[in-house]
Every structure is written in C-alpha cells, then in structure tokens.
Amino acid sequence: MKIAIASGKGGTGKTTLAVNLAASAPMPICLLDCDVEEPNAHLFIRAENIQRHPEGVFVPVIDTDRCTLCGKCEAICRFSALVIIGKRLLAYPEMCHACLGCMRICPEEAISPGERILGDVLSGSFGPHQLIWGEMRVGEAMSPPLIEAVQRMAPEDRPLLLDSPPGTSCPMIAAIRDCDFVVLVTEPTSFGLHDLTLAVETARHLKIPCGIVVNRAEKGNTQIQDYAALEDIPVLLEIPFRRSYAESYSRGEKLIDTDPALRKAFTGLWDIIIKKAEDQKTRRAS
C-alpha cells in the first residue's frame, strides 16, 4: 500500500500532516520524504541509525580519439547537452537528462557512461517505523532521479507513506504516480483553493483517488468544503488554526504530542485512508 501526501503549493502543512500521520500509524510503516529539494520530515522525527548513500545519474564521457564529429549525438540530444563547436564535441553534464540516447546512437562507440552525483539518500528508524529521505546537492536542478532513488530504497514489507514535493510539476508526478491514494493538504485561502484545484486535476489525470485535509481551518470559512462537495471529494480532516500549533511546529514538535485530540483524529484518519487505498487496489486488480 502506497499513500501520498501532496499539495498544490508549498507551505500548506504537507510535512506536518506526513510526520504526524507517520508517528500515529497503527502498524510499522515507512515514511518517504520525496521533497528532495527541501526535505524536513527528519527535523520532526529525529531518526536513529542513519545511513547515507550518494546517488548519481548517467552522464556521457567522450573518447575524443574515437569521435569523428559526425554530429549524430548532438542531433539526438533534446537538451543541448552535447554541442560541436569547431573541431570539438563539448559535453555539458549539468544539462544532461540521462536518456542514454547519445551513447546508443554513436556509430564509433566513442561515448561511455560517467556519473554525476545528484545528492544523497538517507535512511533511519524511529520506533517501529522507517524514514527515508533525499537531499539534493546545492545547484542541482534535476530532482526526479533522486526522488526515484528514494522510492527504490523503500522496503516491501510495510505500507509506504510518501511526502511529495509541493506543486503539480514533474517532481510531484514522479513521486505520486503509482500511489493507491493521495491526501491533498490545503489551507482555506483563495491561493490554497486555486492550487488545490490543480492538484485535484493532476490526481484525476493519474487516476488516483484523493481526499482533502484542510489545515489552519477557520470557523465560517467554508470555501474548501464547498469546493470539495461540488467535486464529490471527501474532506478527511480539518486541523484548526491555533497559535499553540504554530508554536509547537516552530520548536520542531509534532502536533499529536501537543494535543491529545489531534492524536485521536490522526488515528481515525488512518482508518479512512487504509480503506480507500485498499478499495483502489481492489479496483486496479479487477
């Protein structure tokens, strides 16, 4: 079972939901923090026995003795990572998307595999649970391979809870595309609603059922609930707007340790999510 926590934009409380849900899981789970550009689940969870593995991607290495400057690799590269200038073939590894096209098309076998380190994948444990997260190197722009590396490290013997990168672009899609259910976290503002609609469209396009959690919910502000009713999407939980929650967040504490009522609410949320994810698995299998 694979459940994603996502949001149409950053700052809605996605990681807050992910860490509190992980810490109140009724069975051993693995939390995958796929927000590799700005991972912060580990700041709240404080995993033990941490291991770090560098993660790299393919980049072409040119053998200038073999290269005849035929131009086939330059022509196939959609990212302009290979350019012939005068009598030299220049490679720009930071623009390479590791499609391997150049290596396969080269008639002289002048291109061999090199490696560019994108960042690190880290793993550790907290109680009966596991936490895996990625840390992208400063200046690196290509996050999907590192997100995939985080997912490859996931154990197969337990449910996976995945903290997705914010937004609805390639990193978010790379993270959630094979999930059984996605929880969309939003806030009751016009920006929140706008970006929620994009996230809902993305989940629907990927044919993943979704539910909504309203963070910083305010009495009398029902714009998210109205939209959810119109689109027939369940509102799974409302987390009220409270100063004490913001203070505990700023101290790196989990909300479930601040408010026993929220601990109960998160336990109840698991029951709903498990049911919805299992329904989706059954639908996929039939």
Q: Is 23 in the site for ligand SF4 (CB under 6 A)?
A: no
- Of 19, 57, 106, 233, which one interacts with ligand SF4 (CB under 6 A)? 106
The bridge status of strand 235-240 relative to strand 210-217 is parallel
The region of 13-21, 59-67, 115-123, 259-267 touching ligand SF4 under the rule CB under 6 A is 59-67
Q: Does 72 bind ligand SF4 (CB under 6 A)?
A: yes
In terms of DSSP bridges, do strands 129-136 and 111-126 run parallel, antiparallel, or are they unpaired? antiparallel
Helices (H) and strands (E) in the chain, counts: 11, 11
For residues 85 and 285, which CB has a smaller minimum distance to ligand SF4 in the complex?
85
Does 153 bind ligand SF4 (CB under 6 A)? Our answer is no
Give yes or no for residue 61 binding ligand SF4 (CB under 6 A): no
Sort 43 into a burial class: Cβ within 10 Å, 0-12 / 13-18 / 19+: exposed
Selected binder of ligand SF4 within 101, 124, 159, 165 (CB under 6 A): 101
CA distance 234 to 219: 18
- Candidate ranges 23-31, 99-107, 142-150, 193-201; the one touching ligand SF4 (CB under 6 A): 99-107
| DSSP conformation letters of 71-117 | -HHHHH-TT--EEEETTEEEE-GGG-----HHHHH-TT--EEEEEEE
Contact stretch for ligand SF4 (CB under 6 A) within 26-34, 69-77, 232-240, 270-278: 69-77
The single residue among 110, 150, 182, 183 that binds ligand SF4, judged by CB under 6 A, is 110
Q: Is 29 in the site for ligand SF4 (CB under 6 A)?
A: no
What amino acid occupies position 273?
A: I
CB closer to ligand SF4, 88 vs 264: 88
Q: Is 89 in the site for ligand SF4 (CB under 6 A)?
A: yes
- The backbone torsions φ and ψ at residue 151, rounded to the nearest 5 degrees and listed phi first, read -70, -35
CA distance 2 to 151: 11
SS3 257: helix
Number of chain positions touching ligand SF4 (CB under 6 A):
26
In the chain, what's the furthest Cα-to-Cα distance? 73
Our CB check for ligand SF4 shows the closer of 68 and 282 to be 68
If one asks whether residue 76 binds ligand SF4 (CB under 6 A), the answer comes out as: yes
Q: Which positions touch ligand SF4 (CB under 6 A)?
A: 60, 62, 67-73, 76-77, 79, 81-82, 89, 96-102, 106, 108, 110-111
